[in-house]
Structure 1
Amino acid sequence: MKSSVNKDENLKFSLEQIKEARKKKAQMICFPEFQMAFSPNSQSSKELFSISELVDGGFVTELSKSARENDIYIIGTIYERSTKDSDEFNKSLNSPENFDNRYCVYDTAVFINNKGFIVSYYRKLHLYNALGFQESKKLLAGNKLFSPVDSPLGKLGVLVCYDLRFPELGRLLAIEGSGALVAPSGWVQGTMKEDHWLTMCKARSIENGVYLIAPNQVGNIFCGHSLIVDPFGVVILDMGTREGMEIIDLDLGKIDLVRNDLPLLKNRREDLYNLRQKNAF
């Protein structure tokens, strides 16, 4: 998907893609990060706030309606508006001192089932404050892990873009039962960035024995290459730099096969380290 700065255009495109996916017998469709709109670097936090919505706002409501009408699961992304008196203003370690609390926006992924219900949502934990970018000038980091949900792929976990660089998150989702991870992304172009993208997606897949589904933005400043990686690290889909949609059938039996042959989760030394225990390292 190549999101424009126009929220209505992006919603229209999304609804068209959902209908097309259902015509092709898809059970679930996954959109990239920034589905709602592309936010250029010149856009202020106030301007971004003006297009943001609550999770149950118009954008997600239309996605939910389409999920119900087309009997399809949807993972979408929005700029989620928050209230200025939220306690999370004071809990975010990533926000600079000059962050304007009046215009607080989360980078949020929403999981909608085929009945049109919002089952869960996830606020991106790790903001992209690296390699010349500082997302924390516009965004606020979430402070809760995603709990795996039931999906056509079995138990499914969600993380967003820069979260891929933090292996603990994918591992925790796998420990909690996820056999597939979906990572809506807006991976920015740059030196070694495409190499990092492929490496991170394959690594998170291999180390956890999961399918890694990573829809990525194309055009603008993004590198594209939406990927699906199987539990053994084999790339079974790479969409290159083109905008569009691909339907892929996933063999869910492969998750257990790989985990039996390469029992990484089972072979962990939890007597020495435990990711569930705070400050375990």
Structure 2
Amino acid sequence: MLKTGLIQQSNTSNIEDNIQRLEKSIRELAGKGAQLIVLQELHNSLYFCQTEDTETFDLAETIPGPSTDRFGKLAAELGVVLVTSLFEKRAPGLYHNTAVVLESDGTVVGIYRKMHIPDDPAYYEKFYFTPGDLDFNPIDTSVGRLGVLVCWDQWFPEAARLMALRGADLLIYPTAIGWESTDSPEEKARQKDAWTISQRGHAVANGLPVISVNRVGFEADPSGMTKGIQFWGNSFVAGPQGEIVTEAPTDSERNLIIDIDLERSEKVRRIWPFFRDRRIDAYQGLTKRFLD
């Protein structure tokens, strides 16, 4: 069993306070025996992509840098593996949305740069982030091979499949997603259900556990062009048959801890042998943008 912690947090403009609360939650989960702890997308700050502002690039940092040093020291002190999510400054004018995995000795054991970058009202990520160039490669750690992806990646079955084909033990999605206040209750329900269903589908199709950690709470749009985002929380873990094994509320902060049975994937793949029956001779069209 892999004892795993999830931190669903509501952030403010006070970055130091956000980080201190994360540290407190990490200590709490480690004290309960967590070996792996997953944080939400861009967890240090507000979700700044609601507007396009060149001054916001000042939030970015190098990897290694201040956050990897700070969280790395905490990981080493507590003996836990941390999945963090940072605004990376790779070079002048070159920035990424980057997940960083810190080993239990505090070292950076691997990074993943978000591959799929959205550009929608209130989610203007293409302004800030260059698409990743590290492919879909699991990160080897002392607790297993982590198939780390980020938010918008969770809608693409190809990303999950490639992580699984490369031997990931589980799929992990740090996330920042929520509702625009003018959407109807029915539309809000459809959106959240689709988000959950798509990731549970990745679990089923690949016979792997899925961890999804979303932020929660309201964040205003600084430009006033929209009515801001109500992040819907609902962080969860699904088992390799898509079953929900733990789930956070939609309207409040929550630290979850759960035992994930990594050995169950082998048992599930034996009864549902999707990898055996894949028609790898017939999928060439998947590399095309569209088939006429």
* Pairwise TM-score range, normalised by the shorter structure: 0.7 to 0.9
Question: Partner of 1:254 in structure 2?
Answer: 264
Identity of aligned residues (%): 29
Question: Structure 1-normalised TM-score?
Answer: 0.87
Instruction: Confirm or deny: 8 A CA contact 2:49 2:123 kept in the other structure.
Output: no
Match for residue 206 of structure 2 among 184, 205, 208 = 208
Cα distance 1:189–1:21, how it changes in 2: closer, same or farther (>3 A)?
same
Cα deviation 1:155-187 (Å, max 9, x = unaligned)? 220110110111100000000011200000001
What code does the residue aligned with 2:105 have?
K
SS at match of 2:258: coil
Distance 1:262 1:79 in 2: 39
Aligned to 1:76: 84
- 1:54 to 1:40, Cα distance in 2 relative to 1, 3 A: closer
Q: Which amino acid aligns with 1:142?
A: G
User: Contact 1:54–1:81 at 8 Å: present in 2 too?
Assistant: yes
Residue 237 in 1 paired to residue 246 in 2? yes
Tell me which of the two structures has the higher relative contact order, counting C-alpha pairs closer than 8 angstroms and 6 or more residues apart: 2
CA distance in 2, matches of 1:55, 1:273: 37
Amino acid at match of 1:237: T
Whether the aligned pair in 2 keeps the contact of 1:179 and 1:209 (CA below 8 Å) is no
1:147 is aligned to 2:145? no
Q: Is the 8 A contact 1:161 1:184 kept in 2?
A: yes
Distance 1:58 1:268 in 2: 44
Residue in 1 that maps onto 2:53? 45
Q: How does 1:104-183 map to 2 (within 5 A)?
A: 104-130=94-120, 133-151=123-141, 153-183=143-173
Q: Relative to 1, partners in 2 of residues 1:39 and 1:251: Cα closer, same or farther, differing over 3 Å?
A: closer
How does the TM-score come out when normalised to structure 2?
A: 0.84
Greater Cα shift, 190-199 or 247-256: 190-199
Structure-2 separation of matches of 1:120 and 1:42 = 28
Post-superposition shift, 1:196? 1.5
Equivalent residue, structure 2, for 1:96: none
What is the deviation of 1:120? 0.6
Is 1:32–1:184's contact at 8 Å kept on the other side of the alignment? Answer: yes
Matched-pair contact (CA < 8 Å) for 2:139–2:148: no
Instruction: Name the CA distance, whole Å, in 2 between partners of 1:54 and 1:41.
Output: 19
1:5-20 superposed matches below 5 A: 5-20=13-28
The 1:41–1:116 alpha-carbon spacing in structure 2 relative to 1, beyond 3 Å, is: closer
Is residue 28–residue 152 contact of structure 1 (8 Å, CA) maintained in 2? no
Q: Does residue 1:31 correspond to 2:35, yes or no?
A: no
Secondary structure of 2:232 counterpart? coil
Deviation digits for residues 52-98 of structure 1, max 9, x if unmatched?
111111112100000000000000011111323xxxxxxxxxxxxxx
CA-atom RMSD in angstroms: 2.1
**Offset, 1:203:** 0.8
Which of 31, 43, 67 is equivalent to 2:75? 67
Distance 2:50 2:236 in 1: 29
How much has 1:17 moved relative to structure 2? Answer: 1.4
Structure 1: distance between partners of 2:47 and 2:154: 21
Counterpart of 2:6 in structure 1 is none
User: Hey, which of these two has a bigger chunk of strand by percent?
Assistant: 2
**Runs of at least 5 residues in structure 2 that lack an aligned partner in the other structure:** 1-8, 181-186, 219-228
Match in the other structure for 2:235: 226
SS in structure 2 of the partner of residue 181 of structure 1: strand
The list of structure 1 runs, each at least 4 consecutive aligned residues, that deviate by more than 6 angstroms after superposition, is: none
User: CA separation in 1, counterparts of 2:62 and 2:49?
Assistant: 23
- Equivalents in 2 of 1:141, 1:3: separation in Å? 25
